[in-house]
Amino acid sequence: MNPVVMQLTVRGLLGRRRSILLLVLPVVLLGLAWLQRLASHGSPTQSAGLTGNFALGTLLPLMCLLIGTGVIGPEIDDGSIVYLLNKPVPRRSILLAKLLVALATTLVFAVLPVAASAAIAGDRDFTLTAAFGVAALLAGIAYTTIFVALSVLSRNAVIIGLLYALLWEGVLGGYVPGVKDVSVRQWALAPAEHMLGADAAGYGVTSAVTVSVGLTLLAVVTVGAAWLGIGKLKTLRLAAAD
Amino acid sequence: MSAIVLDKVSRWYGNVVAVNDVTMTIGPGITGLLGPNGAGKSTLIAMMGGFLAPSAGTVALDGGHVWKNPEIYRRVGLVPEAEAMYDMVTGAQFLLANARLHGLEDPGAAARRALELVDMVDPSDRAISTYSKGMKQRIKMATALVHDPTVLLLDEPFNGMDPRQRLHLMDLLRRLAAEGRTVLFSSHILEEVEQIADHIEVLVAGRHAASGDYRRIRRLMTERPHQYTIASSDDRRLAAALVAEGAADGVTLTNGTLAIQTSDFGRFVHALPRLARDSGVHLLEVSPADESLESVFAYLVAR
């Protein structure tokens, strides 16, 4: 983990125009949660619907895509990554430093707003807030790591990531039985379902996998993605078109 | 004193061969890597800088491999061709970050020294996004020098520089070479290269076409047969006079155009106006048929 790489990454991530989206999307979510609270008089069931479907299913993967592809993708595209790579710093610590910045940003701009939306829209003793907070944290870590790795592996990371986030995680992962088993969202919902216990089904918080399977798969995917990203960064081709 | 040794290095992308069986040693002093655009200069420099694995052959710095070996960057400074930098930070912050990434003992002092070397101390508190192309080029140069490397690899460093900045950089490179450093820079402009390079390596279409000091390269380039096309009031008489004088090796008359081939450029250009006047022939147009740098390079390859 290299502090200089982290500083440059923070400047790059928050200094670009798309960082405005990092603020806009959570504000939209919190606004919707507030409207939901007014419309449904703070019903936890309605709150779980908004947070589970929109916040966790759509907004979280999109935020992680923005953040994950923003910490290293632009530098690879324009070639400025060369100033990090031509240093006696192991490529592993460059990628891990960038990943750490991405995860911290995900926590602040994506995970906390998701949990807060449950609290605002309606909750009973913060049980929904805690359950969705844990699910968002686990899914956020996995999504962000996947997208960071994807932007090292492919120059089309945003397109691929968008298709994955919207189609696979958003649509197929929610409804198609076979796909449900291999969806980050479903894996992350397993501990949330466990935390809510008997109320889970009533809130519509159900997972296709058990807690242990979900946590194991999340860990495998996260570590695997980071490992792939590091491997690719070690051999990243930086020759000009010439 | 450091040396980069390339041994039978090739690099291909799919079916396209970018660098073809190049063997050369880059030692202390200034070496100019000369070649037309698309010759494979950037690919070669990327391989020397450890950013690209050779498809065949080896690249070594002082006996050690450069590929997948970030430790070489303690000795190597690199100026990439790409212009993009961390635009949102200031020049001074960027230099400091580079010095810290190198793990230098006093990064602040090293950053200041590098900025002084490239004459960028005053504008260094401005964001890089506000710099001109020439200023960005100098900041790139400063990042390559911040850790006092023994080897400098510069990809088209004079691009975008005005004449004054160009002279300043040439002066700086000469000083660095005089201190015993190995400096390699690429360019597609012969005049640029021959002004400062002790040694020139010519690369054409991925192949190592010529090697030597600039006098040898210059001689190779000027001694090649030159071709001109001429339009005049009497092509036949002018052709006869040129051949009789020995100013042309061959003449071809086709469709009212006279094509001349000569291996003695100086003699031809002096004889032509004189012969035309003496023969009472009006010269309407004289144009070189193959003066492009590409044709010069093509000639070198064919030798």
Q: Where among B205, B221, B237 does a domain terminate?
A: B221
CATH value at residue B268: 3.30.70.100
**pLDDT for position B296:** 66
Q: In degrees rounded to 5, what are phi and psi of residue A163?
A: -60, -45
Residue A11: alpha-carbon gap to chain centroid: 20
Domain shared by B253 and B233, yes or no: yes
Q: Give, for all 303 residues of chain B, the pLDDT tens digit.
A: 789 999 999 999 888 999 999 999 999 999 999 888 888 999 999 999 999 999 999 999 999 999 989 999 999 999 988 888 888 899 999 999 999 999 999 999 999 999 999 989 999 999 999 998 888 999 999 999 999 999 999 999 888 788 888 888 999 999 999 999 999 999 887 778 878 888 999 998 899 988 888 777 767 766 677 788 899 999 999 999 999 988 888 899 887 789 998 887 778 888 999 999 999 999 998 887 765 555 666 676 666
Instruction: For residue B43, list chain A residues with Cβ-Cβ distance below 8 A.
Output: 239-240, 242
Cα angle value B212/B216/B222 (rounded, 5°): 140
Domain shared by B24 and B146, yes or no: yes
Domain shared by B276 and B140, yes or no: no
Cα separation, B256 vs B216, whole angstroms: 38
Domain shared by B210 and B272, yes or no: no
Smallest CA–CA separation between A81 and chain B, in Å? Answer: 8
**pLDDT for position A134:** 97
**Most confident range, picked from A44-58, A92-106, A176-190:** A92-106
Domain shared by B57 and B197, yes or no: yes
Domain shared by B251 and B212, yes or no: no
Radius of gyration of chain B (CA): 24
B40, A242: Cβ pair inside 8 Å?
A: yes
Q: Which residue has the higher pLDDT, B99 or A238?
A: B99
B52, A4: Cβ pair inside 8 Å?
A: no
CATH value at residue B194: 3.40.50.300
Instruction: For residue B81, list chain A residues with Cβ-Cβ distance below 8 A.
Output: 240
Helix ranges (H only) for B190-288 are: 190-196, 214-222, 235-245, 265-279
Cα angle value A219/A222/A225 (rounded, 5°): 140
Q: How confident is the model at residue A113 (pLDDT cuts 50, 70, 90)?
A: very high
Q: Where among B171, B201, B221 does a domain terminate?
A: B221
Domain shared by B24 and B121, yes or no: yes
pLDDT at A106 over 60: yes
Q: Which element (helix H / strand E) includes B87? A: none
Task: Using alpha carbons, select from A148, A225, A222 the residue that is nearest to residue A188.
Answer: A222
Instruction: For residue B40, list chain A residues with Cβ-Cβ distance below 8 A.
Output: 242
**pLDDT for position B214:** 73
Domain shared by B48 and B156, yes or no: yes
pLDDT at A81 over 70: yes
Smallest CA–CA separation between B51 and chain A, in Å? Answer: 6
- Over the stretch B141-171, which tens digit does the pLDDT of each residue have? 999 999 999 999 999 988 878 888 888 899 9
Q: Which of A79, A87, A90 lies closest to B84 in CB terms? A: A79
A83, B103: Cβ pair inside 8 Å?
A: no
Q: Are strands B283-288 and B226-232 parallel, antiparallel or unpaired?
A: antiparallel
Report the number of distinct structural domains present in chain B: 2
Domain shared by B157 and B262, yes or no: no
Q: Where among B164, B191, B221 does a domain terminate?
A: B221
pLDDT at A177 over 80: no
Smallest CA–CA separation between B266 and chain A, in Å? Answer: 35
Q: Which of A161-165, A177-181, B40-44, B204-208 has the lowest mean pLDDT?
A: A177-181
Tell me what ipTM this predicted complex has. Answer: 0.86
CB atoms within 10 A of CB A54: 19
Indicate the length of chain B as a whole number: 303
Domain shared by B167 and B249, yes or no: no
Interface test with A, best of B17, B74, B86, B150 (most A CBs within 10 A): B86
Domain shared by B157 and B89, yes or no: yes
Domain shared by B159 and B246, yes or no: no
**pLDDT for position B160:** 77
Instruction: For residue A239, list chain B residues with Cβ-Cβ distance below 8 A.
Output: 18, 42-43, 46, 51-52
Q: Give per-residue burial for B125-143: e unless 16+ CB within 10 Å, then b.
A: eeebeebeebbbbbbbbbb
A239, B70: Cβ pair inside 8 Å?
A: no
B70, A90: Cβ pair inside 8 Å?
A: yes
Instruction: For residue A79, list chain B residues with Cβ-Cβ distance below 8 A.
Output: 80, 82, 84
A242, B42: Cβ pair inside 8 Å?
A: yes
Cα separation, B77 vs B102, whole angstroms: 11
**pLDDT for position B237:** 92
Cα separation, A4 vs B249, whole angstroms: 66
Domain hosting B90: range is 4-221
Q: How many CB pairs under 8 A join A and B?
A: 88
What is the overall mean pLDDT for chain A? Answer: 91
* B224: three-class secondary structure by DSSP: coil
Q: How confident is the model at residue A241 (pLDDT cuts 50, 70, 90)?
A: very low
Would you list which residues of chain B are within 8 Å, Cβ to Cβ, of chain A? 18, 37-43, 46, 49, 51-53, 68, 70-71, 73-74, 76, 78, 80-82, 84-86, 88-89, 94, 97-98, 100-103, 143, 155
pLDDT at A242 over 50: no
Q: Which of B38, B80, B103 lies closest to A79 in CB terms? A: B80
Q: How confident is the model at residue A139 (pLDDT cuts 50, 70, 90)?
A: very high
Q: In degrees rounded to 5, what are phi and psi of residue A24?
A: -65, -50
pTM listed for this prediction: 0.83
Query: Hey, where are the domains in chain A?
Result: 3-234
